[in-house]
Structure 1
Amino acid sequence: MIKAYILVQTEVGSSAQVTHAMSEIPGVVSADTVAGPYDVVAVVQAPTVSELGKEVISRVQAIPRITRTTTCTVVDL
């Protein structure tokens, strides 16, 4: 299973709405509104890197009022 963190910046005042929308996407393990340079941090999982990109990340990026995302894939060292 591939795991990643998605760091999300949203339009002002829309972080709760975006967090809720993200939590409805299959593959999103958790989504939380946070304070700091990002507005939402989500943990996502998928069986493969390809599915992570196609099925999870692309759906997250399509949510209205998201202005920027940064995806950090977890690696085992």
Structure 2
Amino acid sequence: MVEAFVLIQTEVGRAEVIAKQLGGLSGVLSAEYVTGPYDVVVRAEAPSLEELRSTVVPSVQQVAGITRTLTCPIAGEAAS
């Protein structure tokens, strides 16, 4: 499985609602609204990087109120 963080900017005042909508999408492991330059952070997974790019990320981007996304594939396992 390939995992990625998707950093999302939303229309003003919509972060909480959008995070809740994103949490129900296939391939989304978690969706949290945050403060800072991004409004929502999603952790997503798919069987391959190609499937992440072709199915999961587009489904995230189609949610109304999202203005910009930045997808950051996780490079490898974190050291324990």
Over aligned residues, Cα RMSD in angstroms?
1.1
Match of 1:26 in 2: 26
Amino acid at match of 2:20: H
Deviations 1:11-47 (A, max 9, x none): 0000011101110111100000001110000100000
TM-score calculated relative to the size of structure 1: 0.95
Q: Number of paired residues? A: 77
Runs of 4+, deviation exceeding 4 Å: none
- Aligned twin of 1:61: 61
The unaligned stretches of length 5 or more in structure 1 are: none
Name the SS of the counterpart of 2:38 in structure 1: coil
Structure 2: runs of 5+ lacking an equivalent: none
Tell me the CA shift for residue 53 of structure 1.
1.2
Measured after TM superposition, the shift of residue 76 of structure 1 is 2.3
Identity %: 42
